[in-house]
Structure 1
């Protein structure tokens, strides 16, 4: 067996010369060594190493305990502030939920204050709601392997019986990307198959809106070349496959995701360091523990030869410091000195880094060779270099600060949002489904980013006295975004953030005293707490109350106007004048001085729902006169019970509406109840929030959610496509309002009641007796009322060209329902109510 480290490597000499090993920060735990798929390209089961056959299928509890002890020992001896634990296999989900729970909680308990990010890479065939609930509880991020569309994916990723796995993965991704669990979505891993169309594969992956994509070169080496790669040829089939994807991604006005391979190359070209083994010369800081407790190098090495990953060390008798001194690990930490002579002479050596270590192997020569992918890597890196030099900052690339403190980190990417014609038509008909709403929500996220950036720029331009502190807050937010984009995304998507930012920009421009740009620090602190970023930042207080959007409020002495948030891996302290409020690890929980935002959830396997009750943020629903206060625990339980019934009704009988609600609505804000019925509202400034009084029953809440989701859809669409011209002062009758309405208001109402009519159109068939008569009357009344108003709007002359097409499609949809029969009793009741409303309106407004 040829050693995989350079023959002239002398560890003692390196240490004497001043070299010190880099402690491990990434621990890959093989919790199950088998898999329920038989992928043709799998390096674990289909290539040179077959050690899996002799290892236990699952990591035993005593092995897991010893591993946890070794991790804690390593963390404490090196004072490491953050580590990542990756649960791997085989297929890690085969280990079962309890085993995963024990390992995750065991590691976090053992390492104390060190922040532990836990992730899991899965083929997703076993990923279901019970697993997702567990991962939500434990904050475990999930990466999924997906190679493209069904034909692409099932070429290689099949079960042992030859059956494809794509349909099972689609079901799992549908759950993982639902609003309730999307925050756990770590990204997609795609193994390159030259037989697949690259752009087709890329588009298939983008359909799920992944936060990141990894394109993985198939494992191979000089002695066992990867598919389509002739080691003796200068051809570059893998670069040729990747370059069209890079061009599409890099040239886009909005980069919809991060492609790690490309991002790491750009980072290296701009003088940064790599965070992946694929490229660059950064020391390898990861280690693998197998199911039997053996400590190994990267398991990619199993593709080279039998035993290539072995170190001979074991968690029961060896520390991870022992592993750091192993020559094989040292060879992967000394950078350029471990490269072949050919690589050291190469002009892109510091970027390419010789490629993945496993890909350098040649039988009889070990690993002191260029990568078997050398021509592909050279071509790809050179292509990216030319693109970056041509547009070094045109798409937001910035040099990363090398400091560990907050700085001007990665930018928050914006997008140019367009609505496809088919989606526009579906929305006009009152539908569109979850996919259309997801597009609208993405545009709202970009809108919030623009507004937050606008707060920073406007504060600077007007010379606001706190502009410097606003800059520091923005820099912290950007630094957190660089490493934890999901945490920043959760804060920026919170509805009140958009309302605060819009209000602040307007107030700064007009010179009003109620401008609050310093609240940007509240956003930054919330993102830091969500991500476990260790930092300190001054935050504003209003009468002693510090608001952290999406999390809750810290209540200090009422005379205070500011405080300091000390953020840790497991929470935060908000401090001022000797008073300390601890933000708990789970901010949803109340604690002394802390009021958390509670959550409601409705579990349905097809479409789960989770919403936050925001009864605290001062910007939660601007301009609303009947804003409610803090709900009591008993009131929260009542809301939860009513939501359970409403959601069951929507999912079972109105599934398209349920999908739209789940994709659009993330926050409920309580209102003071009226004397009769229920109040509800949405605001164009707070997409995702529905304000409502306590729902009287499940059916009322269900139709309210349908109604308000229509408002949310139209408001978001209006930010992309103008549908109306400027108001000309004319006012018109609306059969759902007591006052005359302008055309934009008519359009909002007609679109909402289009959705209400559609709800009762289906619901009337589920009811019996008086309830059926009532449901039929609601359908008849609102289809007629909405149709009458569309006619008013179409004749107003105040629609843009897209607006005319939109309202015409609304009218066509209502016309299609006009012939549906309604019982005479329902028709009479609808007519009676409509005539009464019109009479009262004329008496009031004449």
Structure 2
């Protein structure tokens, strides 16, 4: 594992990582009312809750960012609704001035089982962008169960129904495991629930979910081919992964390659219930490692995010991640599109951050491109942009 100088790390950090966060993940509670078999969260059975002191410190930090900068504050558990609407409203209160000024917007990812009228009132009152996790029809959602082992499917669908009744827009995210061979069935079902967009996460090894089998590249490619075929017949449905690839193609085709290549990673601060901050990957929160320690970059109660981010290049895992990005750029034909493997996937799959290719890369990026472009070798995106543009 590499140990570059502090100056080199600072320069690399400024090259690869944005100076301000555009997305901050907050963990209002560690508790989750479900026990999904693939969950990566280590403390989901414990009820630890965030205090207003922590959210006030985060809000103060965001107020220091440039006035024109907009930050998404994403409430993510555990199950964030397990804290209750009154407590979450209290945690949101310090952000209200920033929200009303257009400098902060709220989002929330939920399993939807606890949605009721008070929650809908909160979503409307604070203009919360709601994301719901559901893996498809009942048989594909079977791994989402409560702590007694009871299926959560009916409760999830009921919660989604509440959103629909109140005309609250929502997106869906599905973890694709057993459904990888049933793309059309999966998308038909998800579309029928009425979301604004659909995200498809092929199951990953991360957090405490480190032993389940991963799909072979050929199977992932067949899945994406089926998704493209379905999408061609349903042009009004936004599928997140296809939309991202289309955005890349439009940018390149429009002669804006420089703007695409100038993109820098969001530092992605994730704030735990006690104010502890990890960077680059929410999945690192609560994880300990003999070499990397606890991955903490600081605590927002004792130092503002600006200071935490300014010193981030000194963290071994951050410095190694920057080396990994540089290695991806030099060695991977798909870098032009994907811009480098995710930090958490590098660590949980390969055991280090300066590694390059991961199964996540292959299943969710490379095979997505190959499915569109008809690529059957490793020549990658740079040599096949024209065929992909024609395919779209």
TM bucket normalised to smaller? 0.7 to 0.9
Pair 1:127 & 2:115 matched: yes
Runs (5+) with no aligned partner, structure 2: 376-384
Map 1:44-59 onto structure 2 (within 5 A): 44-45=41-42, 57-59=48-50
Map 1:308-323 onto structure 2 (within 5 A): 310-323=295-308
Task: Specify the alignment match of 1:29 in structure 2.
Answer: 26
Runs (5+) with no aligned partner, structure 1: 275-279, 396-846
Tell me if the contact between 1:35 and 1:94 (Cα under 8 Å) persists in the aligned partners. Answer: yes
Map 1:282-301 onto structure 2 (within 5 A): 282-297=264-279, 298-301=281-284
Shift of the 365–64 alpha-carbon distance from structure 1 to 2, 3 Å rule, reads closer
RMSD: 3.6
Q: Normalising by structure 2, what TM-score? A: 0.81
Tell me if the contact between 1:228 and 1:237 (Cα under 8 Å) persists in the aligned partners. Answer: no
Task: Specify the alignment match of 1:100 in structure 2.
Answer: 88
Pair 1:267 & 2:247 matched: yes
What is the deviation of 1:365? 4.1
Shift of the 112–343 alpha-carbon distance from structure 1 to 2, 3 Å rule, reads same
Shift of the 89–198 alpha-carbon distance from structure 1 to 2, 3 Å rule, reads same
Shift of the 139–334 alpha-carbon distance from structure 1 to 2, 3 Å rule, reads farther
Pair 1:217 & 2:213 matched: no
Q: Secondary structure at the match of 1:373?
A: helix
Pair 1:348 & 2:334 matched: yes
| Per-residue CA distance 1:345-392 (angstroms, 9 max, x = gap) | 222112123332211125664442311234333232122245984574
In 2, the alpha carbon distance for the partners of 1:163 and 1:281 equals 44
In 1, the alpha carbon distance for the partners of 2:286 and 2:276 equals 18
- Which of 1 and 2 has greater Rg? 1
Tell me if the contact between 2:179 and 2:186 (Cα under 8 Å) persists in the aligned partners. Answer: no
Shift of the 327–379 alpha-carbon distance from structure 1 to 2, 3 Å rule, reads same
Shift of the 331–236 alpha-carbon distance from structure 1 to 2, 3 Å rule, reads farther
Q: Secondary structure at the match of 1:144?
A: strand
What is the deviation of 1:101? 1.7
Q: How many residues align?
A: 368
Tell me if the contact between 1:300 and 1:358 (Cα under 8 Å) persists in the aligned partners. Answer: yes
Shift of the 285–393 alpha-carbon distance from structure 1 to 2, 3 Å rule, reads farther
What is the deviation of 1:34? 0.6
Match of 1:8 among 4, 9, 21: 4
Map 1:179-578 onto structure 2 (within 5 A): 181-182=166-167, 184-194=168-178, 197-220=182-205, 227-229=212-214, 235-249=217-231, 251-252=232-233, 254-271=234-251, 282-297=264-279, 298-301=281-284, 306=289, 310-325=295-310, 326-327=312-313, 338-339=324-325, 341=327, 344-361=330-347, 362=349, 365-376=352-363, 377-386=365-374, 389=386, 392=389
In 1, the alpha carbon distance for the partners of 2:225 and 2:108 equals 29
What is the deviation of 1:124? 0.5
What is the deviation of 1:204? 0.9
Shift of the 245–226 alpha-carbon distance from structure 1 to 2, 3 Å rule, reads farther
| Per-residue CA distance 1:657-704 (angstroms, 9 max, x = gap) | xxxxxxxxxxxxxxxxxxxxxxxxxxxxxxxxxxxxxxxxxxxxxxxx
What is the deviation of 1:330? 10
Q: Which has the higher contact order (CA 8 A, sep 6+)?
A: 2
In 1, the alpha carbon distance for the partners of 2:319 and 2:240 equals 21
Tell me if the contact between 1:218 and 1:226 (Cα under 8 Å) persists in the aligned partners. Answer: no
What is the deviation of 1:98? 1.7
Q: Normalising by structure 1, what TM-score? A: 0.40
What is the deviation of 1:135? 1.4
Shift of the 353–391 alpha-carbon distance from structure 1 to 2, 3 Å rule, reads closer
What is the deviation of 1:72? 1.9
